[in-house]
Amino acid sequence: MNGRTAERRMLWPALAAALGLTVLAGLFMYGVARAPDDHEGRILVFFKEPLTDREAYARLAASGAEPLRLMSAAEGWVAEAREPGAVGRLRRELGADWVFRDVGAGRTLAGCLAFARGPAEPRRMAP
């Protein structure tokens, strides 16, 4: 057996291990970043169905969260959950599929797409 055959034999297990570690890291980050129902503070919200900006803004406001910014690249919203239970209301009553809290690495991973400062203004949003 030459060196090249040994390299090829190790390629698939190495790729499988890399894929497995990536999936495990994603599951771990989901568990760490998922916002509990009573969370207060900065959140990232993804709704189940596509919504207009006004519909999403209204749902966030109805939950007790202050919409801050639309993440146009991912159709998510950055908001500030100001009332206890706002995250739970978003999930149970207002159609939010994914709600994440602000995790230290989130800003770095999201880059310029997330966690801007200042409230959103619906009259300035593109239709």
User: Domains of the chain: which residue ranges?
Assistant: 1-33, 41-124
CA angle 6, 10, 16 (to 5 degrees): 165
Overall average pLDDT of the 74-101 stretch: 88
Residue 43 has φ and ψ, to the nearest 5°, of -135, 160
Superfamily of domain 41-124: Peptidase S8 propeptide/proteinase inhibitor I9 (3.30.70.80)
Residue 5 in tokens: 């055959």
Q: What is the pLDDT of residues 55-87, one digit of tens each?
A: 988 999 999 999 888 876 667 888 898 888 999
Residue 91 in tokens: 């999930």
Instruction: Work out the mean pLDDT of the chain and round it to a whole number.
Output: 79
pLDDT at 117: 45
Q: Beta strand 76-81 with 65-71: parallel, antiparallel or unpaired? A: antiparallel
Report the percent of the chain where pLDDT is more than 90.
Answer: 13
End-to-end Cα, the chain, rounded Å: 64
Q: What is the pLDDT of residues 26-60, one digit of tens each?
A: 888 777 778 888 888 888 888 988 888 889 889 99
Between the CA of residue 16 and those of 10, 11, 100, what are the distances in Å? 10, 9, 28
Q: pTM of the prediction?
A: 0.63
CB 31 within 8 A of CB 84: no
